[in-house]
Amino acid sequence: MTPDEFAALGVSTDLRTAAAALGIATSTAYAAARSGSFPVRTIKVGSRYVVPTAELRSALGLGDAA
């Protein structure tokens, strides 16, 4: 994921995109989200997981959005 692609994310993103940003395989990310061990907070919305972009930025050491 390029910095421009990351900057274009809204206030949240899906688990697949968050996993790609963190360099985690999708299947591993879903297993981690189910077990509560994903490195960033996940929010279960219906049958999908949502990841707050601000927390993802922080986990990646990117600081606040410009």
Measured CA to CA, the distance from residue 38 to residue 60 in angstroms comes to 13
Measured CA to CA, the distance from residue 48 to residue 15 in angstroms comes to 8
For the chain, the structural domain boundaries read 3-59
pTM of the model: 0.85
| Ranges assigned E (strand) in the chain | 12-14, 43-45, 48-52
> What residues contact residue 23 under an 8 Å CB cut-off, 6+ apart?
none
- Mean pLDDT for each consecutive 10-residue tract of the chain (66 residues)? 79 95 95 96 95 91 69
